[in-house]
Structure 1
Amino acid sequence: MFADVAALEFAVAGIGRDHEMRRSFAFLTSENYFSLMGAKPYRGRFYSGEECKPNANIAVVVTSYGFWKRMGSRADFVGSTLQINGQPYTVIGIAADGFSGANALIAPDIWAPIGVRSQLGSAFGDSETMHDLMNPKNYAFNLTGRMRPGLTIDMAKSRLPVLAQRLTAIQPADSEGARELQIQTPSRFSLSTQPEDDGPITLIATLLTARAGAVLLIACLNLANMLLARATSRSKEIAVRLAVGASRWRIVRQLLCEGFLLALCGGAIGLVLSAWCN
């Protein structure tokens, strides 16, 4: 039914080095997560199956491209050490620029192998059952799969009852088993394990974008009014220039240069503010 299936779990952890620590998004994933998403490392490598074995506790991480840039774009970043929840982890790779995984809303700073879950247990819950990946009652992870080529959603859904029976058969006797299986296109805006419809979220995002655009349009109109008022106040000056022999093109060129310098200064200030805020 599936060409590949990967496990992942979301958390918030303290990430940084020395005294520069910050709360950041993180994902624990199986070793095939990146190949499932079609991702390639920008530098270094992704973690291996050995590092993802349950309770392997091999302290390695992959960072995002944006996190590497915020840390100074150091050439020796791969191989360096980060502190995650107070514990040292070796950076083995940097994901490609723009890669955020299966979710567009949450861009993690790091990805770690599921084998370190017992080390990072404080970030993922306090239950010892949930820390032990060998425990069959551990339902901590979400599964993301890629269907086999040529298989439609309807064909896959028709096979779910058989798959549910097989999963129930291998569960412990005192567990609830696979009560219900559903196939749903993963939401790009939600971390929920329930089927999600991105339609309402997309509508809200569109309305918010339109509102921001309206605010910018109002600001542009106000600026245009200010420029018109300034031009009106300079009408006598322009008339005098024309009277003493200045050409219309020279006056237009002067006004264009003034407007261009104003726009250039405003753009430069905006870039500085955006870089500082980021």
Structure 2
Amino acid sequence: MSDRPAIEIYSIGTELLNGQIQDTNSFWMAQQTAALGGYVRRIAILDDDMDELTGVLKDACQRGTRVVITTGGLGPTPDDMTVEAIAKIMGVDTEVDETLVERYMESRGIEKRADVSEGLIKMATKPKGSVAHPNPAGVAPCVESQVGETTIYSLPGPPREVEALFRQSVEDALAGIYDDVRLSLRVAVNLPESQCGPILHSVMSQYPNTYLKAFVALRERTADGQRLPVDIVVWGKKAEEAQALLDKALAEFKAQAFEKGSEVEIRDEG
């Protein structure tokens, strides 16, 4: 799958690394991205540290990542550094989005610009040239920035806001990148993971745009051994292309499994 546009997801926050809060955002966004046919290459949690943020995000851009999605670090406190970090990568200053400030004033009944709190001003701040998408479920916006060929979508941390902003500001853009067809098939084999694993890697190396995964936790013990579930996922520009690729990958998987003494049982298609 290395020839497909890559997405990387970064959750930002010391509280995540300390185990105080569970990172559910990355799991949810990876699910949504996969449903759109997208390819998530990397998921990581980053500390609230300027050097780490700029280093990791700059590296992601230099590696040709098509889309980077970050969550967290957009709040009003000093440890919220995402906007500043991205501005440094872009080589620009930050600026206040006055349209957002006006929205904050209207929603809170604030009459004078001078009465807007520093916290609200910080949440209305973005790198120069970036676009701030208003938050339908909270305060901090989704900030869309361009670094070379990489688009960075910076979302706030609360899951309810992540989901709302992803649907509003990110989902359609990803769908536009991945306009191909995704097909999947679950099968099962009577092989241990140690014997099945090399088959998965062999099929994926022979057929680009395929992904095979064995689910050890779902295996079933049987009288003749076990049934190890395996998902075969493929992508193609058209339905016919995807189906042809799935057929080839399945045939190769069956052939190699048979060599190791196992039939392949079809479970379900997705």
| Structure-2-length-normalised TM-score | 0.27
| Structure with the bigger percentage of strand | 2
| Structure-1-length-normalised TM-score | 0.27
